Amino acid sequence: MRKKDYAIKNLRSIILDLHQYTAGKSIGEIAHKYKLDPSKILKLGSNENVLGSSLKAKIAATLALEKVNIYPEVVSTELASKIKKIYKLKNIEVVVGNGMDQILEMLARLFLNNGDETIISVPTFTPYELSTLWAGAKPKLIPLLKNTCQMNIEKILKTINKKTKMIFICSPNNPTGNLMKKEDIKKIIESTDKIIFLDEAYIEFGGKSLLKWVNKYPNLIVGRTFSKIYGLAGYRVGYAFIHKNLAKYYFNSITPFVVSRPGQAAALGALDDHDFFNKSVKMVNEGKDFYYKELTKAGIKFLPTDANFITLNTFPKKAKLITEDLMQSGIITRECSSFGTGGEYMLRITIGTSEQNKRVLDALKQI
């Protein structure tokens, strides 16, 4: 009789050492673990939009349900065209995917072979590393500068070699919240012909997008998402700006039908709801002001943020311990040890409504 695990021998060797992606805790999970009323739990660990979603997006998605028996567009042409029109793009194409994660997988498919290398500044969004590993490539992890949370440009440039194929930059960075210096990004781009992926998932909350740079630098790809500012995390819609010279190869390699009809419709509707967009930005800016003032007053260390979250510096106490205490009081936040070097002392909190922010602050003062 064959052993029960005989099929495992067929797995790619890299798969054997991988671990599942660490996501933020869910309300149901915490309610069960601590025997709490789900309706009283604050979910502030995944940087979702606490205002919910645009009404226009909801209506559009609901209407799209009438045609879910029909396959969606292969490459989300209508949505991509609308984004191109909004940004008045000429030599830049827009590609749409099933969240930012699926776009990262596509880029790994395009550019990475076994034995290739990528460069990632940590702590940061872990799917950069995962997509590298899935492709059989090796991630070279370079810690951010300790005092500024900026990229270590000197070390990055020294690390680039013949095996390097991609360099990932997150700005504003998750989980530190800060924009990377524009001059540093430019220096990296102009110092190499490697593919630079610039993740701007949080750019709407602070800073100016560099997407127009794609026209000048064909090796630059800029990623965006509908999960944050637009409140569509559950629909999984991400997109990226890519130079027309590369777009043909992207489309030729794409997995078809990856964004559902309701997802595409919701994204189209969200782009038309400027009131919801502005309301979301206003709430986050007011929340930043509140946290800056009150955390400083309470003597709680934090990192300045350009995103829709604020990260506490918990050193020398591990952030995991504080996260546990907050969860017991019904507040879900995120300890960032899975994000890489230094993340174990970072506690990330999604900026919420005024009432939610006050509840978080009161709980922090009790710990």
Q: Do 148 and 248 belong together in one domain?
A: yes
- Percent of the chain at pLDDT above 70? 99
Choose between 95 and 30: higher pLDDT.
Answer: 95
Report pLDDT for 260. 96
Q: Do 101 and 238 belong together in one domain?
A: yes
Q: Do 260 and 118 belong together in one domain?
A: yes
* 16 within domain boundaries: no
Q: Do 59 and 203 belong together in one domain?
A: yes
Q: Do 151 and 40 belong together in one domain?
A: no
Report pLDDT for 1. 45
CA distance 109 to 86: 29
Give tens-digit pLDDT for 314-330. Answer: 999 999 999 999 999 99
Provide the CB-side half-sphere exposure for 333 (13 A, CA).
Answer: 34
**Range from 86-90, 123-127, 177-181, 184-188 carrying the lowest mean pLDDT:** 86-90
* 7 within domain boundaries: no
Q: Do 246 and 104 belong together in one domain?
A: yes
Report pLDDT for 15. 84
* 8 within domain boundaries: no
Q: Is the alpha carbon torsion for 89, 92, 94, 100 positive or negative? A: negative
Q: Do 138 and 234 belong together in one domain?
A: yes
- Look at residue 2 and tell me whether its pLDDT is greater than 80: no
Q: Which of 272, 301, 324 is the last residue of a domain?
A: 272
CB under 8 A, 24+ apart: contacts of 326-330: 326/360, 326/363, 326/364, 326/367, 327/25, 327/30, 327/33, 327/34, 328/34, 329/363, 329/366, 330/30, 330/34, 330/36, 330/37, 330/40, 330/41, 330/42
Q: Do 246 and 345 belong together in one domain?
A: no
pLDDT (mean) for 156-165: 98
Q: Do 161 and 38 belong together in one domain?
A: no
* 3 within domain boundaries: no
Choose between 273 and 1: higher pLDDT.
Answer: 273
Give tens-digit pLDDT for 195-229. Answer: 999 999 999 999 899 999 999 999 999 999 999 99
* 2 within domain boundaries: no
Q: Do 79 and 169 belong together in one domain?
A: yes
* 1 within domain boundaries: no
Q: Do 285 and 349 belong together in one domain?
A: yes
Average pLDDT over all residues of the chain? 95
* CATH code, domain carrying 323: 3.90.1150.10
Q: Which domain does 167 fall in, by range?
A: 55-272
Which tokens go with 145? 């500068």
**Residue 3 banded pLDDT, cuts 50, 70, 90:** low
Give tens-digit pLDDT for 109-153. Answer: 999 999 999 999 999 999 999 999 999 999 999 999 999 999 999
pLDDT (mean) for 46-61: 97
Torsion angles phi and psi, residue 164, rounded to 5? -65, 130
CA angle 145, 346, 222 (to 5 degrees): 60
**Residue 90 banded pLDDT, cuts 50, 70, 90:** confident
Q: Which of 272, 287, 319 is the last residue of a domain?
A: 272
- Look at residue 312 and tell me whether its pLDDT is greater than 50: yes
* 331 within domain boundaries: yes
Q: Do 243 and 309 belong together in one domain?
A: no
CA distance 311 to 313: 7
CA distance 64 to 53: 16
Domain count, the chain: 2
CA distance 47 to 308: 7
> What one-character DSSP code corresponds to residue 253?
H
* CATH code, domain carrying 220: 3.40.640.10
Which tokens go with 292? 């800056």
